[in-house]
Amino acid sequence: MGFSLGEYQDMFLEEADELLQELNQNLLKLEKNPSDDEIINNIFRAAHSLKSSAAFVGLTDLGDLAHKMENLLQGIRDKVMKVTPAIVDVLFQCFDVINDVIREVSSGNPPSKDFSSLIKKIESVGKQGNIQEEKKEAPAPKRIQLSTNIIKDIRDGINNGLSCCEIAITLDPDAAMKSLKVQLVLTNLEKIADILVTIPSIEEVSMPEFDNRVQIILLTSATVEELKKACEVDQVTRIDLRKIELVKKDNKVALKYHEQETLFEEKPEAGTRARDVEEDVIPDEEEKDEIIIRSKDDKKTLQLRTVKVSVEKLDQLLNNVGELVIANSGFYKLYEEMRRLNIEKSIINEFKNRMEQMSRIAKDLQSGIMKTRMVPIGQVFSRFNRLVRDLAKEFDKKVVLEIKGEETELDKKVIDVIGEPLMHLIRNAVDHGVESVEERRQQKKPEIATITLNAYQGGNQIFVEVSDDGKGLDLKKIKAKAIEKGLASPEMIANMDKEEIYNFIFTPGFSTSDVVTDISGRGVGMNVVQETVNELNGSVAIESEPGMGTRFILSFPLTLAIIPAIMVRVQRELYAIPLSDVIETIKILPEEITTIEGHEVINLRGEILSLIRLNNFVGIESGLKGNERMPVVVVGYGNRKIGIVVDLLEGKQEIVIKSLEQNYRTVAGLAGASILGDGSICLILDISSMINKVIMQQDTFSFKEKQRVLGAKQASVEVVKTEVATKEQPVKETVDMQSKKEIGETLLAKEMPIKEDIVFKKEPEEIVEVEEYKEPEKNYELKRGKDTVIEEKVHNVLEEFKTELKEKIKDTLDKKDEIYQKLGISDEDLGKVQVLANVGITDAAESLSKIINRRVDLSIPDVSVLAIESIPQSFGDVDSVYLGVYMPIVGQINGTILFSLREDSGYELVDMLLGLPQGTTDTLTEDGESVLKEVTNIVGSAVVNAFADKIEMAIKPTVPSVVHDYMQSILDSILAFHTAENEYALVMDTEFFHQDDRVIGKLLIMPTTSSLATIVERLRN
């Protein structure tokens, strides 16, 4: 580090940073309530402290700037100036400049800023802001006219336990540089007191009218002696002090001046001042109060009572306490041993008592130290007020930032790094999330958008939310971008739920923004968000509703040092899997494992789950016998998951993470080690690296192979509930309660997508049955019983869900008339459409017959308008694999033409057209694909041309694509892409046959809803 301000640098930087925060906050408030005295005073005080500490470390320029700020603020405070936007802006500029200086200094550079222009600015706005020019009181007034503000200050100060007094110092009339002397006194006093008024002001001291006497009213906690010392400056000839108190009189609070006490007098003057009564002050006939002096409860000592401790030291302590907790658990073992050995009961009981006492103390110590690491998130949140204000100005939007849960405490480590991801989320919210005032007005939303920052604790997690009431995420845009970027194929996307699609926005370089602004749109921010959160073992979830807004929910474990983990064994070796990575634990039969290209997989509820055998991963033989059910821990990272086959599920345990790097180096596949209660070491698996390894292989699996597995029977999964592993778990009660909750969550979550987890965790008490802890030995049977109960429950829930789904589908199918009405079409219209479809499809059949050089029969097109979600059902055989060729149509009519063929008839067609013997083609080759595309192109164009002719509109087919998948997926991907914005679609469904009545394929024509309206309108005319 080059530049340094000496030993107080760190202290100064930290303090300055805090003060700046405070200043920013208060100035924002002042902008809204320009007349709030309290805010003005707070600002003034902070500016003042900043000035003093800058001067203290030798940053005199900065001190000067702060001084000018202070002057400006004093004007506002004393009501000689008004808070104008110009003043606020200048002050914000000052804060920014000071902030820059602090940054420079903390990075070891000397401050390079020149403040002169800014100082000029301050001076000029100061003049403009003046309400009355020079509302100076008569020089050296004998009576101090206290403004109501000052009286209020005095009252507040006294209420806060400070003492108020007036000090009068008299200078030697012959003294040189009187203002300097006075300044010196003031500077001294400032260190121990808050100076409220100085009369005459320091500027007036140098004027000829100065009568060598300065009266200072101040609030302090210092002793008379200390005050006296502060005033004892060379050539000060006399110091007088009067205590000021609050008294109630006629329901009014008045200030009462005590009798003056002369603390110091060089040459006793004749005729002591007899200025006892002022304005709202009653003379004091009582005793001379021995002034002041509280040693407790006052501000100054309070400050001394907090100690700043480095996080490293706390970490070290926490580590040690972790060891203590663990070491302590060794006693439980000893206790069990003693019981077995038939040692005298009373000794055992005494031992037990002591042991439990110690465990309690250790636990308290642990949570105590953990708490010291916890910092309220408010200080992070409040920084964003300024950001939102500036961003809103920049984008010309109206946004307020609402802050909730600022008292929620997070681990210091999280607090330190959470700022950046939050900043990105807020920037995005202002830039992309929130609409312009105009748009909002059109949508009848409040003109002022709200961005909300919220933090709260739920179970073992802390949640931090950033939400806006803007337009919501654009699902369509994200999908399109994901495909454009090659992140997923259309069919993959069709199978994804909303949350999975939202997750694409975390991909590096992913931005749906058309315009890259300074603020956002580069697609970097969201990636930073996810990376940061992942580093903290947290996760991000997104909820978004079009037109309603978007909510990002960041969740973090309560503490980072101790994590819950599932303990597993391979032979005798014990490994820990962090619970945050675990989705569920199941048992499967060995025969249910199949292989794809040598890799083991199972069909887990219709999903391919790649397996990794832990024994292979750690390089030893498995201890499993061939025929028994194998425990599998299903783990997830991001939206990928795999199953880890282990020999034995040991249970759950809280572990302290130790790095392997400290004495060795990182080891592939291991996240670290942990020392257990008995002193043995267990290794912690690095799930993300394991998954990455397996997933890379999985991605190379061919479609056909995947199908084979998915076509096979689903594995008969037995869900295993993981109990708390160890009998000697030291912090039984709490840990068990927590683990019960988590087990509940894991069980419930198992039928849900991973991300749903978070929704549950928010309010765990609603869904979790919390059981009392039971002695492990008795627990065994209960556990069994509970398993089956839970299985039943899950089963029931699934059944209900299915029934509900069926009814929903039935509903939509029955709604035909309703749909027609809604779209404003009649059966007659539809009849016309059918005629049109007939023409188009006859043309299509003709071209098809020309291509294959055979006669082609066709069914009469079935024309209907269907709700999007029921289209797959109307198709019939959605669970078979088809070759689907879809061709978007664009122009005045938009939509999709889908030519779908069963695999065999598709291959037959390919053979036919390539002139190969029938039965040659049995997979979809590149040639086959282009043949199918060409056929669809010709058939589709025929339809399009017929339509275009008939309704006299410009319609154009575009390039067809081939999808080889289940019909359901094919339809999903089309529906997702071409009719996503519509609720309904016109479906024209025709089947083509060979001469011998064998089906060739189906042709579906699906214009979008709006196009449908266009068609209907044209046909009516």
* Interface with other proteins (CB under 8 A): 319-320, 323, 573, 617-620, 658-660, 662-665, 667-670, 673, 675, 679-683
Which is nearer to other proteins, 320 or 880 (by Cβ)? 320
Cβ proximity to other proteins: between 384 and 575 the closer is: 575
Residues 6+ apart with CB under 8 A from 802: none
Q: Which residue's CB is nearer to other proteins, number 618 or number 759?
A: 618
Considering the complex, state which of residue 291 and residue 725 has its C-beta at the smaller distance from other proteins: 725
Whole-Å CA distances, 342 to 335, 339, 352, 777, 870: 11, 6, 14, 20, 73
Helix, strand and coil in the chain, % to nearest 5: 50, 20, 30
| Closer CB to other proteins, 664 or 959, in the complex | 664
Question: 573 vs 787, which CB is nearer to other proteins?
Answer: 573
- For the question of residue 424 being annotated catalytic, the response is no
Q: Which is nearer to other proteins, 346 or 680 (CB)?
A: 680
CB of 298 to other proteins, least distance (A): 43
The first and second tokens of residue 577, run together, are 């899997």
Question: What minimum distance in Å lies between the beta carbon of 321 and other proteins?
Answer: 11
- Minimum distance, C-beta of residue 564 to other proteins, in the bound complex (Å): 20
* Residue recorded with tokens 């402290």: 49
Q: How far is the CB of 622 from other proteins (least distance, A)?
A: 14
Determine the Cα–Cα distance for residues 60 and 876; give it in Å rounded to an integer.
Answer: 82
Please pick, among 24, 26, 42, 70, the residue that the annotation labels catalytic. 70
Instruction: Please identify, using beta-carbon distances, which residue of 574 and 955 lies nearer to other proteins.
Output: 574
Nearer to other proteins, 160 or 320 (CB): 320
Rounded to whole angstroms, how far apart are CA atoms 385 and 97?
18
β-pairing, 599-604 vs 594-596, is antiparallel
Helix, strand or coil for residue 957? strand
Task: Classify strands 984-993 and 640-645 as parallel, antiparallel or unpaired.
Answer: unpaired
For other proteins, give the closer residue by CB, 377 or 687. 687
Q: Which one, of 402, 325, 771, lies nearest residue 559 by Cα?
A: 325
Closer residue to other proteins in complex, CB, 21/615? 615
CA 896, 901, 906, 908 torsion: positive or negative? negative
Q: Which is nearer to other proteins, 230 or 671 (CB)?
A: 671
Give 270-289 as a 3 state SS string: CCCCCCCCCCCEECCCCCCC
282/618 with CB nearer other proteins:
618
Minimum gap (Å) between residue 665 Cβ and other proteins: 7
As measured in angstroms, the least distance from the Cβ of 646 to other proteins is 14
Annotated active-site residue 48? The verdict is yes
CB of 663 to other proteins, least distance (A): 4
Whether 769 is a known active-site residue: answer: no
Q: What DSSP string runs through 823-840?
A: HT--HHHHHHHHHHHHHH
Task: Provide the minimum distance between the beta carbon of 323 and other proteins in the complex, in angstroms, as a whole number.
Answer: 5
Alpha-carbon span 226 to 224, nearest angstrom: 5
Strand pairing partners for 698? none
Strands (E) located in 281-353: 281-282
- Determine contact, residues 886/1005, Cβ cutoff 8 Å: no
* Other beta carbons less than 10 A from residue 23's beta carbon: 27
* Residue 316 Cβ vs other proteins, minimum distance, rounded to whole Å: 11
Structure-token pair, residue 963: 């999808």
Q: E strand or H helix at 865, and its extent?
A: strand 862-867
Is there a contact between 227 and 193 (Cβ–Cβ < 8 Å)? Answer: yes
Contact residues for 89 (Cβ-Cβ < 8 A; gap 6+): none
Whole-number minimum distance, CB 569 to other proteins, in Å?
13
Give residues with Cβ within 8 angstroms of 905, minimum separation 6: 998, 999, 1000, 1001
First-to-last alpha carbon distance for the chain, in angstroms, is 82
In the 3-class helix/strand/coil scheme, how is 164-185 assigned residue by residue? Answer: EEEEEEEECCCCCCHHHHHHHH
**CA–CA distance, 504 with 499 (Å, rounded to integer):** 9
Whether 401 contacts 453, CB under 8 Å = yes
Give Rg (Cα) of the chain: 39
Residue 716 phi, psi dihedral angles, 5° rounding: -85, 90
Catalytic residue (choose from 22, 24, 48, 908): 48
- Contact predicate 193/52, CB 8 Å: no
In the complex, minimum distance from the CB of residue 339 to other proteins, in angstroms, rounded to a whole number: 25
What is the Cα–Cα distance from 134 to 202, expressed in whole angstroms? Answer: 15
- Nearest distance, CB of residue 583 and other proteins, angstroms: 24
Residue 499, number of CB atoms within 10 A of its CB: 17
Q: What minimum distance in Å lies between the beta carbon of 484 and other proteins? A: 39
Q: Which of 24, 385, 428, 603 is catalytic?
A: 428
Burial 662-677 (b: 16+ CB within 10 A, else e): eeeeeeebbbbbbbbb
Q: Give CA–CA dist 899/988, Å, rounded.
A: 11
| C-alpha–C-alpha distance, residues 253 and 246, integer Å | 6
CB 4 within 8 A of CB 58: no
Residues involved in catalysis? 48, 70, 428
